[in-house]
Amino acid sequence: FYDCLISVGRRARLLAQLLLIAVVRKFDPGSDGHMTIAIDDSPTQRYGRHVEGAGVHHNPTAGPADGEWMYGHNWVSLCFMATHSLWGVIALPLRSMLYVREKDVPALIEKYGWKFRTKLELAVHLVTWFVKSVRSLDIECKIWLVTDGAYAGRPVLKPLRDLGVVIFSRLRKDACLFDLPPAAKPGKRGRRRIYGFHRMSLSKLAACADGWESMTYQCRGSMVTREYKTFLATSRLVSGVIRVVIVRFDDGGWAAYFCTDAQVDVRDILETVAARWAIEEHFHDVKEIWGAGEQQVRNIWSNIGCWHLNQWMYTLVELCSWDVAKPKLTDRSNRP
């Protein structure tokens, strides 16, 4: 049994490739459509000094009796975001990579030749693997990636944009933005300017009473109506133009989001950013229902195998029940 888990962990990429093929072929939108994927990380708590790859990580969902930090593993996961006609957006996990802190890597170098990589580097690796796998299947649709603000940095955005991936994420309220550069003068030599001359303040734009519009869009399974502003700006995050959308909430607060494709519609930006919550729901279900992180194994490949088996079972069950009618799917009369 343990040998099997170790083999699963070592061959996670190969096994995930088979699942990816099944998922993208089922949800292939055609050359004119797009696929949406999401990247995020989540920890699983472990116990014992001899659990390989475990370390101290930030606890994102600390309860009243929990601390800000927890001991365990931290997983960077890639999920395919599929929209069900009844249940809304569901995140289907495909593959994860274990993030090991730099101070914990020396214990793994001699035994496994483990190399330290940041969460951002792991995210780029996962998305690159997904894009190349999809293109190898002769699927030419656009690929959209939605992440939280932690992954909205140049080390992620620049290489993925070069791959043709369109990225959606939250923008810091103190983000460094500039207006669009002036048009090049006819006959002027030299490279065209990338950034404008004037810096833009998100706080000032959000505080201004002018320019707000209203829109009703899908947000976490329900229709909401909110006010928004949108404009084009240049940012060093991508060394070019991005579309920014500022959303004002009912309590008076606001948040800014961006898309690396200036031609994407505002509604698509807002709904895609809202759909990112499905990956958080997946983390909850994988841990609370499937029991990810509860397996008592110490070997690093066994831990990777256990985590992936939980994620893959989650995806396979969703795929198998995707086209089942609601009355049959929710009938629990023979399950007392």
pLDDT bracket for residue 293 (50, 70, 90)? confident
pLDDT at 152: 93
Write out pLDDT tens, residues 238-249: 999 999 999 999
Whether the CB-CB separation of 312 and 19 falls below 8 Å is answered with yes
Residue 155: pLDDT over 90: yes
Q: Across residues 90-101, what is the average pLDDT? A: 97
Mean pLDDT of the chain: 93
Q: Which pLDDT value is given to residue 163?
A: 95
pLDDT of residue 37: 98
Nearest-angstrom CA–CA distance, 36 and 275: 10
Mean pLDDT of 250-269: 95
Task: Indicate if the pLDDT at residue 328 is higher than 90.
Answer: no
Q: Which pLDDT value is given to residue 285?
A: 95
Question: Measured on CA atoms in the order 283, 106, 11, 54, is the torsion positive or negative?
Answer: negative
Alpha-carbon distance of 98 to 284, in angstroms, equals 18
**Residue 147 predicted with pLDDT over 80:** yes
pLDDT at 336 over 80: no
Band the pLDDT of 89: cuts 50, 70, 90.
Answer: very high
Question: Tens digit of pLDDT for each residue in 7-16?
Answer: 999 999 999 9
Helices (H), 173-212: 202-207
For residue range 116-142, list pLDDT tens digits in order.
Answer: 999 999 999 999 999 999 999 999 999
Q: What is the pLDDT of residues 270-279, one digit of tens each?
A: 999 999 999 9
Average pLDDT over residues 235-260: 94
Nearest to 272 by CA among 284, 287, 260: 260
pLDDT band for position 184 (cuts 50, 70, 90): confident
Cβ–Cβ under 8 Å, residues 79 and 61:
no
Rounded to an integer, what distance in angstroms lies between the CA atom of residue 160 and that of residue 41?
Answer: 18
Least confident interval from 31-45, 46-60, 154-168: 46-60
To 5 degrees, how large is the angle CA 32–CA 167–CA 312? 80
Residue 301 has pLDDT above 90, yes or no: yes
Q: Please report the pLDDT score of residue 329 as a whole number.
A: 84
- Share of residues in the chain with pLDDT > 70 (%): 100
Mean pLDDT of 287-312: 93
Distance CA 327, CA 330 (A): 5
**Reported confidence tier of residue 50, pLDDT bands at 50, 70, 90:** confident
- Provide the pLDDT for residue 65: 75
pLDDT tens for each residue of 17-36: 999 999 999 999 998 999 99
Residue 100, number of CB atoms within 10 A of its CB = 21
Please choose, from the candidates 246, 255, 250, the residue with its C-alpha nearest in 3D space to the C-alpha of residue 224: 250
